[in-house]
Amino acid sequence: MRHLDSERMQSSEPDGFEAGRPGDGAAGSGREPPRSMLEWTKEEMEQWCVASGFPPFHGPQILRWIHERLVTSFGEMTDLPTALRERLEGEEIISTGDVIREERAADSTRKLLIRYVDGQSVECVLIPEASRITACISTQVGCAVRCVFCASGLEGVKRNLTAGEIVEQVLALKRKLGPKEKITNLVFMGMGEPLHNVSNLLRSIEILRAPWGANLGARRITVSTSGPPGRIPRLTEAGVPVHLAVSLHAPYDDLRRKLIPGKTSPVADLIAESKEFFRKTGRRVTFEVALIDGLNCERDHARSMGKRLKGFPCLVNLIPMNPVEGVALRPPSTSAVLAYRKELESHGVEVAIRMRKGDKIAAACGQLRMRTDVARQGGG
């Protein structure tokens, strides 16, 4: 917003990048991505109207057009005065990206690839289930964590997404819904490490929770993290009672470092930080374990994991890994997954097995972007 000096205008400068990693730094033309009205609050919109010589009640009108009616141009806001629409068209923008590709799986999972004005692109996914529709959202272009089973970090991290670019993914997915459908749950489990972009993450959550935004309750929002040092405590201090999902994957540090080469806190610290998050927010923590054949799915791994988590009222999600193009890893057998669950349950740990969704459309993070970039480079 050009007329307000607010904290959110301070840069999309990388927050928590690892220096020297592939793709660090600015992307595309090197220009800072433009700010859009998708990251304005009701108060800021009203302030802009007043500063521009219009009554403040037009602010909520503009927000309804953007977040409820999902318009993409100011000309569509037909109940606004012509002078206000012209002022908006001359000074501001609604969105900064375009959906350039869409794929749909037999299970109705839909993946969108959104390209922003600097040429960078991210993925978001719509996951319909019997009782809910979940939006899976990205927070960075690429990822510095570089989990060995994930396509997002294969080319490093390019940049953080702005809060507006994060919100834009949700609106793009909402446009794909039927008239009686709505997004009921939101998970920050797409491309990027959300807590490497914590300021814009929190800003986007504020907007998406607002009655004039997606109107999602905090209990419907999950933030997934690998646990960069000091970042879970920062989320705890923010006081936003979202659900926390910690990508644990292994019960001890040497194996976990092989699976997650990026800089993260030791396993013991992650569990301690998660317990503090639970204590302060009252939200049960989920630990994610992506199971990979021959690496982390033996009974000894499960036993050690059970001992670490015993007595903590958490949930462990066992996730047979999604096959990733260019990665020579594969999911374990069903019997291995069931044996892992049985061992955890013997320690009193609650366990769920999360089945793959949309693997036929490369729904594992980063694969659609990677395939599209390869096609562009090859002239496809």
Domain residue ranges in the chain: 35-94, 97-377
Whether pLDDT at 379 is above 50: no
pLDDT for the residue numbered 359? 54
Encoded tokens for 225: 């993290």
Q: How many CB atoms lie within 10 A of CB 189?
A: 21
Name the residues annotated as catalytic.
Answer: 123, 365
Vertex 114 angle, CA 109 and 118, to 5°: 165
35-94 CATH, one of 3.30.360.10, 1.10.150.530, 3.40.50.11810, 3.30.465.10: 1.10.150.530
Residues 6+ apart with CB under 8 A from 27: 118, 119, 120, 141, 158, 159
CA–CA separation, 28 and 373 (whole Å): 13
pLDDT for the residue numbered 30? 52
pLDDT mean over 317-325: 86
pTM for this prediction: 0.87
Residue with tokens 């049960």: 284
Total residues found in the chain within this entry: 380
Superfamily of 97-377 according to CATH: Aldolase class I (3.20.20.70)
Residue with tokens 């375009």: 98
pLDDT digits (tens, 9 = 90+) for 60-101: 999 999 999 999 999 999 999 999 999 999 999 999 999 999
pLDDT for the residue numbered 322? 82
For residue 290, list its beta bridge partners: 319
